[in-house]
Structure 1
Amino acid sequence: MTRLFTGEVCSGRAAGAFLLKHKNNKRPGSVCSRFNRMELTTNTNVGVDNAAMEAMYDETLKNFTEGSIVPGKILSVIDGDVLIDIGYKSEGIISAQEFKDLEEDPIGQEVEVFLEQLEDKEGMIVISKRRAEQQRAWDYVVNECEEGSVVEGTIKNIVKGGFIVDVGVDAFLPGSQLDVTPVRNPEEHMGKTYQFRILKINLERKNIVVSRRELIEESRREGRRKILAEIQTGELRKGQVKNITDFGAFVDLNGIDGLLHVTDMTWGRINHPSEILKVGDELEVMILEIDLEKERISLGLKQTMDNPWQEIEARYPIGARVHGKVVNLAPYGAFVELEEGVEGLVHVSEMSWTKRIQRAADVLNVGDEVDAVVLNVSTDDKKISLGMRQTEDNPWEVVAGKYPIGSLVQGQVRNFTSYGAFVELEEGVDGMIHVSDMSWTRKVNHPSEVLKKGEEVETVVLEIDSNSQRISLGLKQAQDDPWAGIVDRYPIGAKVSGIVTKISSFGAFVEIEEGIDGLVHISQISDDHVERVKDVMNVGDTIEARVVKVDPVEHRIGLSVKAASVEDADFEVREEMLEGLQPGAELVNLAGAFDSAFGDKLEEWHPGDATKSGDKEEGEDKEEGEDKEEDKKAE
């Protein structure tokens, strides 16, 4: 029996109940936990002397050390508090919340508690069941676990930089070590139990750092090795979309990632993988290629579907009329979807018979529905060429009948190029006037020297090529040729008067009538030797000369100043008058005569040097070259 300071004697259970009842209103000397060795007495009926009792008391106190774990027994539970007897001079109190496995009738249940303090300011012991469990867990970690070992734990809290994990003791899990992918929603992991690898143990700070990611990566490495050992090209595998990029999607094949490239997702056209896939999608894909050394797998999704290009020629024969929707535009043409996974290209050159279309976007928009005709099919290249203009009548098929060669036609100047002008004869039908066909008497360097945009002109049809959709027109041919009858107006030996218009190293050009120039060769300027033409002649001088040669075809007239002083009766064409000219030619070609002597100066021979067929062909070749270059760029 224990004697209270007031002289009241109570049993241990009664003292515990009294302590719980008055734990918040303790007074020194009023509870049975405040013992004093001098006041211990023994009931004479028990038969134990004071000396023996005092010895037992001293021995009991020696067995308790603060900071140690001691066994205890539950005496009672009152108002959420548990009274624990550890065999010390007083009992301790622990909140019931520290008990995870408290029985319905816990009286007498044995528990381990952590002795925090033998005696607080109230004279009571301070104990904790939770700290005992933590100490046991810490001791287990220190004694049984090493850095690198695996433990099980529950994520209990989110802190800055990571999580707190209960592995028996609190451990820190960095945010980057929770999973192999960034954690987008940390809250979804709260309360979940996982396996963790111990990365670091700090005994001094009682700090443990763990990782779940390392276990996942280790498992995945093992899984990759296993999958690579058994996987075969061409087989089908199920997987989950793990990540999406601009060029494709990574699919998790239960331990190893494979790349599903955007070109292998569908037989049709897509601009970005996200148009048909999203993270988390379950897919069945085909193994296309395996790189064991780099542990890379290429996957295909469209290969698990029927190929729409099989027997494509039977479904879309050449000449067939089709209907489709414009799904993409490029500068060189429009892509038209004929069915899912099958597209055809309408090149800009196949969009109109009459209009020169520079860009497909000028006439079409994405989403437009169009009719077209199949022009060509390539199964190997998976290409179909389409034509929109073939759905309409070709106006060029009747052009030859409407505009016969040699007929006079009128039109409006629509556009210029460096080599000619385009004249619109009717809507969609243009003819081209080459610069060489613009004037009889002058060399035209650019059509703007003669014509203006929007001007109405009368021309002559020179040539028609319906296949190439070209009409050649002549402006000068619709006018009188001043060189017609030139032989009658300027016979050999006739005296003429004219003005010097141009001086060259080999002679002087003299205008004898508007648009008609003749050449006085340097040898025919004076009886005296002339070193330089400009020493004896100047532009604007009026001179008199005789005609010594006439070429109405090449528009050339040869003049001699020296012969002008000869009497008419005495005049005759002598060989020296033709010096520098092509000998033996019936019609003098002065440009050819001076070719070897004066090289590029021959371009100065005559300002009307624009009617040569060679110049015209060069211009036409230039036009064709530009068209071909344009088509090449488009392709």
Structure 2
Amino acid sequence: MANEVNNEVEESNTGETSTVEQAPEQTTEQTAASEPAGAEAPAASETPAAPAVPAVPTAPRTVAKPVTATAETVPAEVAPARKPAEEPQTGGDIDFGAILEQFEQEQTAYHPGDLVEGKVVGVSDRGALIDFGYKSEGVIAAEELAASEETLSVGETIEVVIKSIPAGDAPPMLSRSDAKLRKVWNDIEEAYKEDRTVTGKIVDKTKGGLRIDLNGIEAFLPGSQIDSRPIRSLDSYIGQDIETKIIKFSRRRNNIVLSRKVITDLVINEQKAATLANIDVGYVVEGTIKNLTEYGAFVDIGGIDGLLHVTDMSWGRLGNPADHFKVNDHLQVKVLKLDREREKISLGYKQLLPDPWSTVVEMYTVNSKITGKVSSVTEYGIFVELEPGVEGLVHVSEISWSKRSANPKRMFNKGDEVEVQVLGVDTEDKRISLGMKQLQDNPWHNIEQRYPVGTKIHGKVRNLTDFGAFVEVEDGIDGLVHVSDITWAKKLKHPKDLLKKDQEVDAIVTNIDAAGQRLSLSMKDLTPSAWEGFVATHRPGDVVRGKVSRFTSFGIFVELGEGLEGLCHIS
């Protein structure tokens, strides 16, 4: 504004001196008006206007009217000299009206929101003055400069956004940060249209993905677009720089969606094609474990993942793959199956290790005694690990000589050390039969000496069947009391009519089969039969009394005593 005041003072002083001197001054003023607004500063410094400041009119813009001066404003003695200026315009005349109109049109070319380029002409604690071609310098607020932490230097050329142009003498307000953001938006939009990558910084995670800072503009990276493979944890990405592509852009909605997957897909697809073309069944390849599950591990062998099943991890029993392998472990694997069309690969790890079954026959001969560790317990027996990768089964029938062996789950726990005997080896099916009772004394070996026929025993009823009752003589030896050998008194339809499970009874050994491990018992033989007593006390022709028990077509049966009947024939 000081420049405008000095220029107007100069014009007013020149007009009051004489009309003869006015033409040269107008020529100079015309030249100055045709130059850019920034060129007015040197003219102000060259004009000795300080002594004439008190004579400046109160309405500055009126100094643009010297060509219309009247007789009152010009001394009479110099009035004739004005005539050449009042003549119609010729080739050397100046149209100040046209100059003023052009100047005003140039000033109105600037509007709030425009992005303009200007030069820093001053910096202070109140802000920065920017000459951008307007009639006066614009101002960047000190608060904005402090917030942006940007240092401006005088003479530096920068881009700014016009925030406002006041109607009065107040300077235009400019924004450097808005210009930067606009440039960033322009760069982002250009990258989106040209399908170029952009690099940003991951600042935080949000619902469904990550927040990315693109030079001050916030963008969204969905979790599904972070990588070609599933991502378990987003926290590990926070703070990292990431290269992405823009898959959705809207400046109006302030919405930018990014994808890193479109970049990784291209790389992975190239690697996948190369890998599938260079491998085959039986090949040994390098890989990296990318994911672990209960049933195995997924191994990246170069752009494609293969499945390493838990059964192909070790020759031995493997409970949890995570106990032996970790994510990002590097390892060698063997290609077991390959389906190029479906892009499925089965891998093996144990196939690169020595097979322990190749020496089982030499290591575990039949009847040899060894110590192992219980690896699994089932209702039908226990599995015993003899060495890593080699297991044998002790069937429930081989645990004890007793035919009523308890549930193995109640007798053994995983990890128990047991002594077993090798009963058989099948290398083709990779099976080993083991026994435990063979290491115990067989109670049937000397059964005939310990329980000769006629020996009275005392035992407990362990089981009842339709044909008799099993009585435990000792641990591992049961004897059978047939239903017909339970009592003399009456004919039983089922042993349960007279006996109960766990009932203690007495019996006599009637027969022994050591080879077949069978022992026959009789309960009724403990007492004399009714027939023997009757025969001893009666002779033919004796008269006896009895009770008719049943009728038949050929006669009647008469009960003569308990368990003794006689027939009275119809004849």
Query: Which TM-score bucket, shorter chain as reference?
Result: 0.7 to 0.9
Q: Which residue of 1 aligns with 2:569?
A: 560
Moved more, 317-326 or 304-313: 304-313
Please tell me whether residue 66 in structure 1 is matched to residue 112 in structure 2.
yes
Residues 220-270 of structure 1 show CA distances to partners (whole Å, capped at 9, x for unaligned) of: 334323322222222223333333333222222232121121211211212
Q: Which residue of 1 aligns with 2:130?
A: 84
Residues 359-397 of structure 1 show CA distances to partners (whole Å, capped at 9, x for unaligned) of: 112322222211111111111222211111222222211
The correspondence for 1:425, drawn from 473, 482, 491, is: 473
Residues 574-620 of structure 1 show CA distances to partners (whole Å, capped at 9, x for unaligned) of: xxxxxxxxxxxxxxxxxxxxxxxxxxxxxxxxxxxxxxxxxxxxxxx
The correspondence for 1:113, drawn from 157, 160, 166, is: 160
Aligned partners of 1:321 and 1:449: how far apart in 2?
48
Moved more, 361-370 or 164-173: 164-173
1:408 and 1:478 in contact (8 A); partners too: no
TM-score normalised by structure 2 residue count: 0.74
Residues 325-362 of structure 1 show CA distances to partners (whole Å, capped at 9, x for unaligned) of: 11211011111121122221111111122462131123
The correspondence for 1:152, drawn from 192, 198, 207, is: 198
Distance 1:506 1:205, change over 3 A: farther
The correspondence for 1:411, drawn from 451, 458, 461, is: 458
Please tell me whether residue 331 in structure 1 is matched to residue 379 in structure 2.
yes
Q: Which residue of 1 aligns with 2:448?
A: 400
Aligned partners of 1:420 and 1:279: how far apart in 2?
63
1:247 and 1:273 in contact (8 A); partners too: yes
Q: Which residue of 2 aligns with 1:385?
A: 433
Moved more, 217-226 or 293-302: 217-226
2:507 and 2:521 in contact (8 A); partners too: no
Root mean square deviation of aligned Cα: 4.0
3-state SS of paired residue (2:193)? coil
Aligned-pair distance for 1:126? 2.6
Aligned partners of 1:266 and 1:489: how far apart in 2?
83
In the alignment of these two chains, the number of paired residues is: 490
TM-score normalised by structure 1 residue count: 0.67
The correspondence for 1:460, drawn from 497, 500, 509, is: 509
3-state SS of paired residue (2:444)? helix
Distance 1:457 1:253, change over 3 A: same
Q: Which residue of 1 aligns with 2:244?
A: 196
Q: Which residue of 2 aligns with 1:2?
A: 2
Aligned partners of 1:362 and 1:144: how far apart in 2?
71
Distance 1:107 1:363, change over 3 A: same
- Long gaps (5+) in structure 1: 16-34, 42-48, 519-557, 564-635
Aligned partners of 2:139 and 2:437: how far apart in 1?
101
1:461 and 1:472 in contact (8 A); partners too: yes
In the TM superposition, 1:220-231 aligns within 5 A as 220-231=268-279
Aligned-pair distance for 1:136? 3.4
1:153 and 1:165 in contact (8 A); partners too: no
The correspondence for 1:165, drawn from 212, 216, 235, is: 212
Distance 1:329 1:195, change over 3 A: same
Distance 1:124 1:354, change over 3 A: same
Aligned partners of 1:502 and 1:383: how far apart in 2?
63
Please tell me whether residue 214 in structure 1 is matched to residue 223 in structure 2.
no
Aligned partners of 1:37 and 1:471: how far apart in 2?
139
Partner amino acid, structure 1, of 2:161 = F
3-state SS of paired residue (2:253)? coil
Q: Which residue of 2 aligns with 1:306?
A: 354
3-state SS of paired residue (2:294)? coil
Aligned-pair distance for 1:154? 0.5
Aligned partners of 1:165 and 1:121: how far apart in 2?
43
Aligned partners of 2:552 and 2:294: how far apart in 1?
68
Q: Which residue of 2 aligns with 1:265?
A: 313
3-state SS of paired residue (1:397)? coil
Aligned partners of 1:369 and 1:499: how far apart in 2?
69
Aligned partners of 1:440 and 1:498: how far apart in 2?
18
Identity %: 38
3-state SS of paired residue (1:349)? helix
Q: Which residue of 1 aligns with 2:564?
A: 516
Q: Which residue of 2 aligns with 1:315?
A: 363
Residues 304-326 of structure 1 show CA distances to partners (whole Å, capped at 9, x for unaligned) of: 22222221111111111101111
Partner amino acid, structure 2, of 1:412 = G
Partner amino acid, structure 2, of 1:315 = M
Aligned partners of 1:436 and 1:37: how far apart in 2?
143
Partner amino acid, structure 1, of 2:463 = F
Aligned partners of 2:169 and 2:108: how far apart in 1?
21
1:66 and 1:115 in contact (8 A); partners too: yes
Aligned partners of 2:6 and 2:506: how far apart in 1?
138
2:160 and 2:174 in contact (8 A); partners too: yes
The correspondence for 2:492, drawn from 444, 456, 459, is: 444
Aligned partners of 1:80 and 1:152: how far apart in 2?
37
Partner amino acid, structure 1, of 2:569 = S
Partner amino acid, structure 2, of 1:72 = G
Aligned partners of 2:118 and 2:553: how far apart in 1?
131
Aligned partners of 2:114 and 2:486: how far apart in 1?
117
Moved more, 368-377 or 119-128: 119-128
Q: Which residue of 1 aligns with 2:80?
A: none
2:397 and 2:403 in contact (8 A); partners too: no
3-state SS of paired residue (1:394)? coil
3-state SS of paired residue (1:233)? coil
Partner amino acid, structure 2, of 1:421 = A
Moved more, 158-167 or 127-136: 158-167
**Greater share of helix:** 2
